[in-house]
Amino acid sequence: MKAVLLVGGEGTRLRPLTCNTVKAMVPIVNRPFLEHLLAYLSSHGVDDIVVTLCYLPDRIESRFGNGSECGVKLAYAMERTPLGTAGAVKNAESHLDGAFFVFNGDIITNIDLRAMLSFHRERNAVATIALTPVENPSAYGVVEAAADGRVKRFIEKPPAGQAPTNLINAGIYILDPTVLRGVPQGIPSMFERHLFPTLLSEGAAVFAYSTSDYWIDIGTPEKYRQVQYDLLLRKCATYVHRGTMEANGFGAHRSDVHQSAIVEGPVAFGSNCVIGAGARIKGPAVLGDGCSISDGSIVDNAIIWQNVRVGKGASIRESVIGDNCSVGNHSVVEPGCVVGDNVVITAGSHLQTGQKVWPDTTV
């Protein structure tokens, strides 16, 4: 099977983390998001993959090349301007010669793709849409389906309490290439607003595959933190780190943890981290390569990228800190903060709950 991965977006909901880093490359437990997605697809026998690119394309292509290091075959389809979900797949049409998967570029899931493909084939569908239940469907595209799974209608972000179901479009599809005939070339087009409603109006066999398997959209800072907690707590299967799990989380590599430091797992350590005397790391938490946590500091449920220096007596809770930041002595980072790359948090500073700090600034 082939797949098309839609990773051309700018990741605006994740800013300031994506100001310098394309969304597909943001680290998930110290490995690029796209690496997790490729490993998941490969484990389900999907190893011929087209990646659609638009924003910062060189960052992805230079890192993954032809895909051989990940055990897959990669091709790339470049967009000069954003073409939308359906338009991006249309732009990759020359690579497609049979039924194929499509993945939105911000999803981590354990959905059984083989079972979904069997469902698609048994119904002779031209399009199958994965559905997943959520608590608040008003923030998503809701899909209403008949008892046999045939899609009846699409409702984009219904008002609170008015959705007919809590099943939403999971951003995972199986498509027959013939459906792309109805997508204009080089013109922005969306699956949810254009192609799928058109197919329904024509009476095409569009089906919904409902599943309660793990699924999360990592496109917001809150969900970005949550997926890493879930991976560390084994609520979601990992396909990248298999075989490297230890009792306390993902193991430290050449890291120096002081004997008086307290590490309450699960914690993922990158390479060459230094944890000072009396420091406390409370998981689930992630420390990227080259991080230094000074004496008496607290890192509690935080996601910290590479080469971050945390001063003495500082406290970081339930927040995300970007690359190459400096957190001053006795400073406090309250829950929900998102700090971009190369930020200097001066000694004694106090970042308020939910505060965002843009790259290359001093606070």
Collapsed DSSP state (helix, strand, coil) of residue 226: helix
Collapsed DSSP state (helix, strand, coil) of residue 180: helix
Q: What is the pLDDT of residue 330?
A: 98
> 126 — alpha (psi -120 to 50), left (phi > 0) or beta?
alpha
- Report the alpha-carbon distance of residue 252 to residue 244 in Å, rounded: 10
- Say how many C-beta atoms besides its own lie within 10 A of residue 66's C-beta: 12
Per-residue pLDDT of the chain (363 residues; tens, 9 = 90+): 899 999 988 888 999 999 999 999 999 999 999 999 999 999 999 999 999 998 888 889 989 999 998 889 999 999 888 899 999 999 999 999 899 999 998 899 999 999 999 999 999 999 999 999 888 887 777 888 888 899 988 887 777 777 788 888 899 999 999 999 889 998 999 988 889 999 999 999 999 999 999 999 998 999 999 999 999 998 988 877 544 444 344 555 567 889 999 999 889 988 889 999 999 999 999 999 999 999 999 999 999 999 999 999 999 999 999 999 999 999 999 999 999 999 999 999 999 999 999 999 999
Q: What is the pLDDT of residue 223?
A: 95
CB 291 within 8 A of CB 275: no
Q: What is the pLDDT of residue 171?
A: 92
Specify the DSSP class assigned to residue 253: B
Instruction: Report the first-to-last Cα separation within the chain, whole angstroms.
Output: 50
Q: What is the pLDDT of residue 249?
A: 46
- Report the alpha-carbon distance of residue 263 to residue 274 in Å, rounded: 12
Collapsed DSSP state (helix, strand, coil) of residue 242: coil
Q: What is the pLDDT of residue 113?
A: 96
Parse the chain into domains and list their residue ranges.
2-232, 246-357
Q: What is the pLDDT of residue 248?
A: 43
Closest CA to 217 of 354, 3, 76, 14: 14
Q: What is the pLDDT of residue 250?
A: 53
> 64 — alpha (psi -120 to 50), left (phi > 0) or beta?
alpha
Domains 2-232 and 246-357 share a fold: no
Q: What is the pLDDT of residue 140?
A: 77
Phi, psi (deg, nearest 5) at residue 67: 90, 0
- Report the alpha-carbon distance of residue 277 to residue 253 in Å, rounded: 19
Q: What CATH number does the domain located at 246-357 have?
A: 2.160.10.10
Provide the whole-model pTM.
0.91
Fold of 2-232: Spore Coat Polysaccharide Biosynthesis Protein SpsA; Chain A (3.90.550)
160, with CB counted inside 10 A (0-12, 13-18, 19+), is exposed
Q: What is the pLDDT of residue 243?
A: 41
Helix 57-64 vs helix 33-43: crossing angle, to nearest 10 = 50
- Which helix (H) or strand (E) segment holds residue 125: the answer is none
What are the residues facing 150 on neighbouring strands?
A: 207
